[in-house]
Amino acid sequence: MKVQVDELKRVTLQVLARSGYPPDECETILNVIMYAQLRGNNQGIVKLIGAGMPRDKACKPITTQRDTKLSALLDGGRNSGMVVVTYAMKLAIQKAGEHGIGIVGTNNTNSSTGAIGYYASQIAQAGYIGLVFSGSGEYMAMHGSYQPIFGTNPLAFGIPTTGKPIVFDMATASIARFGIVEAKTAGRSIPEGVAYDNKGEITTDPAAALGGAIRAFGGYKGAALALLVEVLTHPLVSTTPDGKGHKSDWGNLLLVIDPELLVDGDTFAERTSSLVQRLKDAQKLPGVYEILVPGERGDRFMDSVMQAGSIEIEDQLWAALQQAAN
């Protein structure tokens, strides 16, 4: 059904308040969730239904474990991943503003970070190049193995242009874990070749995949990139040497680079815009109507939602959200 955007935000804020978050955290989480929801990304309000994202009653203020002019390692104090990574993002942007580069890692968060493209997008809108890496539990296997060790290990980048930034957000896994959970709930099978069962056989059964391991995207190259994300989100930022049994061991890393370190910032934005235009004007494959650069599909979706002032939401999902609000 069509839901007014204002109404959607109001109900979402109610759910967050009922989940135990104080007003400032409600606003922060709303921003992350709306970024996804209003761009047609599947990391939106669905995160708030079912088990949802209750605030950890034992959470403590975010503390700084290590701090330099360029960097910080933050103990998230079991606060929401969205709250902690938003804080980390602002800190990294501030450091980059003062010194050209900011690198901030987080550990000990409770619940996920949401769509990490959000943070990359905010960094790019501030005029910086943003790289965001996010760790999670043991879901994905190394190339040659079927034992889950890596998280689905997404990475995102944001690049300023003269217009809207280039923003890309991808799992290094060939399918998001959430996609498998969704398939299981819906009684659907998963695509061929994306996951192993617990004996190392390729499976299309989501239940078997959840007991097995997800494969990396793009073969051995994707697995190597997953390893890079793993190193940046666990050995580099964690507090625990091995294993990721608890969500508190899931780390994140944000790297913010001021392009002015190497080139005039306006020139950089003009050049990236010019590159985007070249890509869009390039010869298209048969059946391709338009070449979309990363971020463009979501931008279009959001523009149309904002113009209409309303968004299409599945009846069941909207009902569940309203229920969670009361």
CA dist., res. 150 & res. 224, Å (int)? 11
Among 176, 237, 256, 302, binds a second copy (CB under 8 A): 237
Q: What is the DSSP letter of 70?
A: S
Q: Give the pair of three-digit tokens for residue 206.
A: 């989501």
Nearest-10 Cα torsion for 253, 258, 259, 261: -120
166-171 and 101-107 beta bridge pairing: unpaired
Nearest distance in Å: CB 112, a second copy: 20
CA dist., res. 50 & res. 87, Å (int)? 27
Residues 6+ apart with CB under 8 A from 68: none
Q: Give the pair of three-digit tokens for residue 102.
A: 């900011």
Site map for a second copy, 197-236, x if CB under 8 A?
A: ---x----------------xxx-xx-xx-xx-xxx-xxx
Q: Which of residues 84-103 bind a second copy (CB under 8 A)?
A: 99-101, 103
Residue 70 in contact with a second copy, rule: CB under 8 A = yes
Q: Decide whether 59 or 237 has the Cβ nearer to a second copy.
A: 237
SS3 130: strand
**14-22, 47-55, 271-279, 314-322 -> range binding a second copy (CB under 8 A):** 271-279
Nearest distance in Å: CB 233, a second copy: 11
Residue 275 in contact with a second copy, rule: CB under 8 A = yes
Q: Which of residues 49-68 bind a second copy (CB under 8 A)?
A: 66, 68
Q: Which of residues 139-198 bind a second copy (CB under 8 A)?
A: 141-147, 149, 157, 159, 166, 168, 170, 196
Residues 6+ apart with CB under 8 A from 231: none
Q: Which of residues 276-295 bind a second copy (CB under 8 A)?
A: 278-279, 282-286, 288, 290-294
Q: Decide whether 79 or 172 has the Cβ nearer to a second copy.
A: 172
Least Cα distance to 272 among 241, 293, 246, 300 occurs for: 293
Q: What is the DSSP letter of 248?
A: G
Q: Which of residues 1-60 bind a second copy (CB under 8 A)?
A: none
Q: Decide whether 15 or 229 has the Cβ nearer to a second copy.
A: 229
Nearest distance in Å: CB 3, a second copy: 30
